[in-house]
Chain A
Amino acid sequence: MPILGADMTAGTLVAWHKRPGDAVKRGDIIAEVETDKGLIDVEVFVSGVIDKILVERGATVPTGTVLAQIREEAGAPAPPGPEAPRRVRISPAARRLAAELAVDPAAVRATGPGDAITREDIEHAAAAAPARARIDLGRMRQTIGAAMARSKREIPHYYLATAIDLHRAMTWLGEENGKRPVTERLLAGILLIKAVALALREVPELNAVWRSGEVVPSEAIHIGVAVSLRHGGLVAPALHDADRRGLFDLMQGFRDLVQRARTGGLRSSELSDPTITVTSLGEQGVETVFGIIYPPQVAIVGFGKIVERPWSVERAIVSRPVVTATLAADHRVTDGHRGGRFLAALDRLLQAPERL
């Protein structure tokens, strides 16, 4: 059972996609587990043949429990395995309710638009079924609470903020989107994420994890993007190698990640790999975000709402779109001087959006 978050202690095996004797290769999805972060696809990190399945469907086991044994086979590429089962179309809210009421979504008759399973479908199925053991309500909230309490208890946070003029970035984005078909348009958020990734190259100490009492720098920049779930809770899966990807590629990856975060189907590596988190609450009208670092990471970057503000340009007051960028960072790893350098780099990078 993979550890997908600092405070994840257990998970429930919901489905196996492979059987003993099936060939698997690195990166294949072999199972689905229900965790406090929703339904997660479990990947394998070796190629070989499934030898034995050790945890049956429906079992809840602690993190670190071996789910299956794989016999590693070198040489010939693995033959294709059987088709994965069709994914059930269900909203996060209905999926959570299904978990709470111990209802298997695959066995529920869907009545929602496009054959989606609604909360009502789950309630009907639960009412029709005999009483079953209940999973704790609000497990995601408990896990978020535990991780944030640990963060506040153990990490000496310091906070910095800077207001950034986005006139050039928003103008460039408007022109760029005007040229692009609707399927290829970019969101302002993707410019911010890419700028964060590039600024981390200049201040790499912020791109690291804290393990066993020491900082472990990460060469790769995997940005955890905080995605709010529609009826509460959040996850922050990784946009891998964000500094090395073009804006369009990053945007496609971001869209895919948000969709899977909300409908189920995140990969285990996407939850365990982030080396820093970016969170934005601008759409909720928030102007300044005071983030809490997600352990074992050592920094979190926050963005507020992009607002039109009076701005001084060459001794004249003009109206400019401005965003407040914040950094919460771990004082065991960096200090305000380096944090300030990071925010200054972020500001500078956003003044040349065409180079992002």
Chain B
Amino acid sequence: MTRDELRATLLRVLGDIAPEADPASLKPGVELRDQLDLDSMDILNFVVGLHAALGVEIPEADYPKFATLDGGVAYLASRLDSEAPRSAR
């Protein structure tokens, strides 16, 4: 999955949580929590949504990686890259 596809997935899942948000207006390096007024329940639903969309189990300790859109894309790309060889075996 390309980074653009990952970004689109992240935005789609965020859209389910904050449907009023305009994805085009999100600043990729700024905290999502502040931009979208997210709380811990939203973050949990976000992680659950990503799990459903990508099959990635995200440990609680890694939640801070999703502080920004760019951070989330980088984390998911790294996770999917590291898991790909194992699943290809």
Q: CB-CB < 8 A to A117: which residues of B?
A: 19
Interfacial residues, chain B to chain A (CB-CB below 8 A): 11-12, 15-16, 18-23, 36-37, 39-41, 44-45, 47-48, 51, 57-60
Query: Which one of A54-62, A108-116, A286-294 is at the interface?
Result: A108-116
CB pair B60–A258 under 8 Å, yes or no, is no
Is residue A83 within 8 Å, beta carbon to beta carbon, of the partner chain? no
Q: A113-B12, A183-B48 are in contact. Are A118 and B22 (CB under 8 A)?
A: yes
How near does chain B come to A185, taking the closest CB pair, in angstroms? Answer: 7
CB pair B19–A89 under 8 Å, yes or no, is yes
Query: Could you write out 19 A-B pairs with CB less than 8 Å apart?
Result: A89-B19, A93-B20, A112-B15, A112-B19, A114-B19, A116-B15, A116-B19, A119-B20, A174-B60, A182-B51, A182-B57, A185-B44, A185-B60, A188-B40, A230-B18, A230-B20, A255-B41, A259-B45, A283-B39
A258–B60 alpha-carbon span in the complex (Å): 20
CB pair A116–B20 under 8 Å, yes or no, is yes
| Chain B, Cβ-Cβ closest to A118 | B20
Q: How many A-B residue pairs have CB under 8 A?
A: 66
Q: CB-CB < 8 A to B60: which residues of A?
A: 174, 177-178, 185
CB pair B19–A90 under 8 Å, yes or no, is yes
Chain A window 105-129, contacts with chain B (Cβ cutoff 8 Å), 1 for yes, 0 for no? 0000000111011110000000000
Q: A113-B12, A230-B18 are in contact. Are A187 and B41 (CB under 8 A)?
A: yes
Q: CB-CB < 8 A to B45: which residues of A?
A: 255, 259
Is residue A91 within 8 Å, beta carbon to beta carbon, of the partner chain? yes
CB pair A182–B19 under 8 Å, yes or no, is no
A93–B21 alpha-carbon span in the complex (Å): 10
A94–B36 alpha-carbon span in the complex (Å): 15
A66–B14 alpha-carbon span in the complex (Å): 41
A116–B21 alpha-carbon span in the complex (Å): 10
Number of A residues near B (Cβ < 8 Å) is 32
Chain A window 139-183, contacts with chain B (Cβ cutoff 8 Å), 1 for yes, 0 for no? 000000000000000000000000000000000001001100111
A192–B20 alpha-carbon span in the complex (Å): 30
Chain A window 176-210, contacts with chain B (Cβ cutoff 8 Å), 1 for yes, 0 for no? 01100111010111000000000000000000000
B37, B44, B48: which contacts A187 (Cβ < 8 A)? B44
Classify the secondary structure of A's interface with B. Answer: helix
Q: A91-B19, A113-B23 are in contact. Are A181 and B57 (CB under 8 A)?
A: yes
How near does chain A come to B63, taking the closest CB pair, in angstroms? Answer: 10
CB pair A112–B20 under 8 Å, yes or no, is yes
A174–B48 alpha-carbon span in the complex (Å): 17
CB pair B16–A114 under 8 Å, yes or no, is yes
How near does chain A come to B3, taking the closest CB pair, in angstroms? Answer: 19
Q: CB-CB < 8 A to A255: which residues of B?
A: 41, 44-45
A228–B37 alpha-carbon span in the complex (Å): 10
CB pair A258–B20 under 8 Å, yes or no, is no
A64–B22 alpha-carbon span in the complex (Å): 40
CB pair A113–B11 under 8 Å, yes or no, is yes
CB pair B18–A283 under 8 Å, yes or no, is no
How near does chain B come to A10, taking the closest CB pair, in angstroms? Answer: 27
Q: CB-CB < 8 A to B39: which residues of A?
A: 228, 283
A114–B23 alpha-carbon span in the complex (Å): 12
A47–B22 alpha-carbon span in the complex (Å): 44
Q: CB-CB < 8 A to B44: which residues of A?
A: 185, 187, 255
A 254-275 contacts with B by CB, 8 A: 254-255, 258-259, 263
A112–B12 alpha-carbon span in the complex (Å): 10
CB pair B40–A113 under 8 Å, yes or no, is no
Q: CB-CB < 8 A to A114: which residues of B?
A: 12, 15-16, 19
A255–B40 alpha-carbon span in the complex (Å): 11
| Chain B, Cβ-Cβ closest to A174 | B60
Q: A114-B15, A181-B57, A182-B48 are in contact. Are A94 and B41 (CB under 8 A)?
A: no
CB pair B40–A283 under 8 Å, yes or no, is yes
Q: CB-CB < 8 A to B37: which residues of A?
A: 230-231
